Structure 1
Amino acid sequence: MFQALISALLSLAGIGVVLAVALAVTIWRAFFTRLASVPGPAIARFTDLWYAYRIYRGSFEKDNVRLHQKYGPVVRYGVNRFSIADPQAASIIYGPASKFTKSSWYQTWGTPSSHAWSLFSDQDAKRHASNRRQYQNTYSMSSLVHYESYVDECAHLFCQRLSEMVAGTDWSRPLDMGHWLQCYAFDVIGMITYSKRIGFLDFGEDVGDVMRNLGDHLAYASVVGVYPLMHPILFRVRNWLAGSRGKGRQFIVNFTQECMAAHQATPKAQVMVPGKNYGKGEEQGQTMDFLSKFVQKHSQDPAVFTTYHVLSGCVSNMVAGSDTTSISLSAILYHVLHNPGVLTKLRGEVDQHCPQNKASPHITFAQSQGMPYLQAVIKEALRMHPATGLPLERVVPEGGATISGVFFPEGAIVGINSWVEHNNKAIFGDDTDRFNPDRWLQKDKERIGAMNRHWMPFGLGSRTCIGRHISMLEMCKLVPRLVRDYDMELCNMGQWQTKDHWFVKPENFKVLVRPRLVGDGP
């Protein structure tokens, strides 16, 4: 018994020593390192719980802007986490020659295994670059324009659903446009990936709980990413509790595998593009969906493009292919409707270039590129409301780096939040809080060039979103069609609510809609 008591006392003493050392290290880092002078919330000096809690609350994109307004260009938001608001910082952190790698926060966006990489979460820069090259051609804009018929099919069904829901209501039925735009974006991704809609537009609901599980994945990964050492345990416990279908990301992986199996059972490797004139020697089915391309690439070189590459490419489309686009579409529609002058000008441009034609209601991507005000509206909406709302964290490489006059040693985590960058008056002008598409049409080419360099709704540098061209294709085709063919009005006093769990999603985005007859005024 005496020995047991001594053992217990020694154990307690050991724990006490560990806690004392941890406390001493925390105090030393908070007050005596060269980064101790960087301002920020007092509690963030001692614990990352402040950041985790703010993510959990779901409004960090606004918190981050306010931090810089209060403290200046370099702000601490965690023990070793620093947000930067300096026009020179982006090229240092994300530039082509940068050796800054993604932080451990990204680990929770993938399956906890060293072999289960994904393009988004991979911290290994060399492996990421190698794998990205395997997919690059598939996601290029020159390849994606061949998928316009897929987008047209979903856009036509989307508009059909709108017309059905508001027929005869005379503005009396508000629609949750955030939900319907995600249905559209998800089904476009289904068409591009599998040559088949997943069914969101057909049923108007969350098919198989995919949206709910995607939202769960976002909420989980964004918060737990602050403490990634918990991920291997929590990931397995959550999936065990959820049962065979899994939860969050694992649910999306399982769902993707089911879609792939169904596709392979009745493959549509080649799809005729409506209206395309095929020349001599050119096969009718020139456009292949992504899965068919991935399978073909695997069969040609299975050692380089493995079965895991096939799965990972499809999973990436499911995880990132709907939310970013639907959020961006919601932002465009919200700001256009919130600014009647913009709506009038945009509708005038669309009517001039693409007047209503019931025989051919579609607007081509090429036509959209000939409408400069439309492009300015899209860019401005994505400046005001980029889809992601947390700092794009990177780890300072060996040798350290000086950013905005502060030297950051190796291992420090630095990042730029697109909401902060897009609010920088030195880059975008004094009216950054105002929706002003005309800022993108000014004649000052130097200012336009600077704004373009710091416009980052899809990220910057080598880790720019690989699916950005899909998103732009969907937006450029649907937005002008909605403006031309429908009258819309915001509900809720013209204000909306958002939730930031990495993606800054609108909540209860209600819009009154009615078809616009040919000849209606603006």
Structure 2
Amino acid sequence: MLFTGATALLILFALLIVIRRRYFHPLSHVPGPFLWSVSSFPVLYHQGIEEGQLMHILPALHEQYGPVVRIGPNEVHLSNPSNYDKVYSVGYKFSKDPDFYGPMEGPLKTPIILTILSAKEHQIRRSYLNPFFSRRSVLDMEHVVRDKTGKLLHLLKSSLVSAGVFDAHHAIRAFSVDVITEYAYARCWNQMDQGDWGAGYQLAIQDVQLFFPWLQTFPFLVPLFGLIPDWVNTMVFPPFKKWYDSLTIVRAAVTEVRKEISLGIKPARRTIFHELMDPAPLDAPEFGSKTREPLSDLSIFADAVNVTGAGAETTGSTAGRGIFEVLSNPEVHLKLSGELVNAFPNPEDIDLLSLEKLPYLRGVIKEALRLNPGLPGHLPRVVPSSGATFDDVALPPGTVVSMSAWLMHHDAAIFGPDPTTFDPERWVNESNMKEVEDRIWAQEKCLVAFGRGSRNCLGQAVAMCELFYTIGTVFRHFPPGSIDVHPEFSREDLQLTELLLGYHPRKARKFKIVSGRNLAVVN
């Protein structure tokens, strides 16, 4: 009897919560599916159980309910591209959602640049690294990307000659890891020299993110997750070992650099560790000549790990998508190779500034970014105390609001009636027509693969350098007919999922390149 009474009370309590959330909540006027408006379970189901499928569900919801859709008891998703700058612009007042970003601190057990909620605190932390990842710094360090690209090209050629097949999926990601660890740490991890191309590390980064949807739904678990010793996580989840091995390497580097600085040893070149340990004056005018607070070794370690993990998958995935699409479109392959041969009669003369001037190559890279953005999914922000209105729908302070690069990049009103098609011509204006120029400008506004505003991707300049070098070098050396996509690989294997970073499903076949009928003509 007591059990029956308690059960009845629980049912009544749950029913009251449902009624309140659906009919008396400050967001009750926002359209959306019933279950989504009263529970976080639908998002958890698509993100946690289906492993990142939410971004593929949202288009249908917007088709049914309009540009403003309630996707949680206190969360709204927007589809109108004109709202993007209002939420994510440089002068934004929308802070990051702590329930979404907080769990990302769990594995590292400290805040990182990505998870800092306050705009001012983020600006201070980012000021340590902005010069290091600036375009000028990338041009100064261009030789790192050039050398690693040359190594990747050699491995591609030798693998095709000896085995007729090349594991492009893992190799390109290994290339990205080697670039960012050499660039940022001056301590290359040499994953391109490993027999498995560092596949274990790449899988571990993905597996870590599988926990995020669960921790975001049940944030009270985050402190408990942080208390679990590393050896326990490794024992329960064996793939984590590669992740923890990488953390050990970074911790050792932090300790080593800290010791060198204390001994007055001048480095051959500054690294990300030197920048993060430097209490130089802030460069933002509003801070005057105030010096920065010294960062703890734990914070330095966490930011360094974040740079590597994010840079490896995002750039590698986009470069792989670009190469796949060119190989899958003979006309695109022919035109791109022709442009590269004309620009570089001697393939050894390739350089970034020259690559950036090639309009068709730029179009190929922008299409790769459009169809395979590094952060494709929703990135929640919190409506400020002043409230906000989107498409005539008023949202009260404290509402969580988000937009998705995936939806913006597939907006038919911007990218035409077939936005899923890979078409570099979208970005080319050979005739210099004003109408085409205006269309390209509108597309540029909607291309948010790196985000926009003060929280855009820190490593954007490095990533673009990698993309120009990998795609440009591969197709300067491999004309049509010399290489092809492995016959067992299909476009379906490239479907993106949103964990935090964009990933291909774990069960998908990995992108491989095979020898073509004219491999012998490669120079």
Q: Give TM-score scaled by structure 1 length.
A: 0.84
Secondary structure in 2 aligned to 1:402? Answer: strand
- Distance between the aligned counterparts of 2:443 and 2:168, measured in 1? 30
Give the one of 114, 117, 129 matched to 2:111: 117
Gaps of 5+ in 1: 272-286
Correspondence for 2:320: 330
Alignment deviations for residues 111-160 of structure 1 (CA, whole Å, 9 cap, x no partner): 489x9221101112221111112221111111111111111221122122
- Distance between the aligned counterparts of 1:337 and 1:388, measured in 2? 24
Deviation, 1:446, is: 2.8
Change (3 A) 1:181 1:266: farther
Give the one of 196, 210, 234 matched to 2:225: 234
Asked whether 1:144 is paired with 2:138, we answer yes
Deviation, 1:323, is: 0.8
Alignment deviations for residues 325-365 of structure 1 (CA, whole Å, 9 cap, x no partner): 111111211222222211111111111112344xx3x6211
Give the one of 378, 401, 405 matched to 1:418: 405
Correspondence for 1:508: 509
Equivalent pair of 2:76/2:402 in contact (CA under 8 Å): yes
Correspondence for 1:449: 441
Correspondence for 1:277: none
- Distance between the aligned counterparts of 2:410 and 2:445, measured in 1? 14
Correspondence for 2:286: none
Tell me whether 20-29 or 88-97 shows the greater mean CA deviation.
20-29
Change (3 A) 1:123 1:508: same
- Distance between the aligned counterparts of 1:19 and 1:160, measured in 2? 65
Equivalent pair of 1:298/1:306 in contact (CA under 8 Å): no
Asked whether 1:473 is paired with 2:465, we answer yes
* 1:80-229 to 2 correspondences below 5 Å: 80-103=74-97, 104-111=99-106, 116-169=110-163, 171=164, 173=165, 175-205=166-196, 207=198, 209-229=200-220
Alignment deviations for residues 283-333 of structure 1 (CA, whole Å, 9 cap, x no partner): xxxx53333444456799996242445324312222212011111111211
Secondary structure in 1 aligned to 2:157? Answer: helix
Deviation, 1:387, is: 1.8
Q: Which amino acid aligns with 1:176?
A: D
Give the one of 396, 404, 408 matched to 2:383: 396
Q: Which amino acid aligns with 1:469?
A: A
Correspondence for 1:313: 303
Q: Which amino acid aligns with 2:201?
A: V
Equivalent pair of 2:174/2:198 in contact (CA under 8 Å): no
Correspondence for 2:351: 364
- Distance between the aligned counterparts of 1:235 and 1:98, measured in 2? 31
Secondary structure in 2 aligned to 1:456? Answer: coil
Correspondence for 1:304: 293
Deviation, 1:394, is: 0.7
Secondary structure in 1 aligned to 2:210? Answer: helix
Deviation, 1:55, is: 1.1
Change (3 A) 1:412 1:302: closer
Q: Give TM-score scaled by structure 2 length.
A: 0.84
Correspondence for 1:275: none
Deviation, 1:414, is: 1.0
- Distance between the aligned counterparts of 1:210 and 1:149, measured in 2? 25
- Distance between the aligned counterparts of 2:9 and 2:132, measured in 1? 56
Alignment deviations for residues 73-102 of structure 1 (CA, whole Å, 9 cap, x no partner): 122222222211113211221123321111
Deviation, 1:499, is: 5.2
- Distance between the aligned counterparts of 1:202 and 1:262, measured in 2? 24
Deviation, 1:512, is: 2.6
Alignment deviations for residues 233-282 of structure 1 (CA, whole Å, 9 cap, x no partner): 133337462269977976654342134446678999655xxxxxxxxxxx
Alignment deviations for residues 391-446 of structure 1 (CA, whole Å, 9 cap, x no partner): 11111111311111211111111111100011112222333122121111234333
Secondary structure in 2 aligned to 1:167? Answer: helix
Q: Percent identity?
A: 24
Q: Which amino acid aligns with 2:500?
A: W
Matched residues, number:
491
Equivalent pair of 1:38/1:76 in contact (CA under 8 Å): yes
Tell me whether 260-269 or 463-472 shows the greater mean CA deviation.
260-269
Equivalent pair of 1:269/1:289 in contact (CA under 8 Å): no
Correspondence for 1:339: 329
Asked whether 1:291 is paired with 2:282, we answer no
Equivalent pair of 2:388/2:395 in contact (CA under 8 Å): yes
Deviation, 1:219, is: 1.4
Change (3 A) 1:302 1:217: farther
Secondary structure in 2 aligned to 1:136? Answer: coil
Equivalent pair of 2:352/2:469 in contact (CA under 8 Å): yes
Secondary structure in 2 aligned to 1:82? Answer: strand
Gaps of 5+ in 2: 283-289
Change (3 A) 1:16 1:409: farther
Q: Which amino acid aligns with 2:370?
A: R
Correspondence for 1:373: 360
- Distance between the aligned counterparts of 1:12 and 1:459, measured in 2? 53
Asked whether 1:483 is paired with 2:475, we answer yes
Equivalent pair of 1:298/1:307 in contact (CA under 8 Å): no
Change (3 A) 1:462 1:388: same
Correspondence for 2:418: 431
Q: Which amino acid aligns with 2:509?
A: N
Asked whether 1:36 is paired with 2:28, we answer yes
- Distance between the aligned counterparts of 1:493 and 1:303, measured in 2? 50
- Distance between the aligned counterparts of 1:389 and 1:318, measured in 2? 19
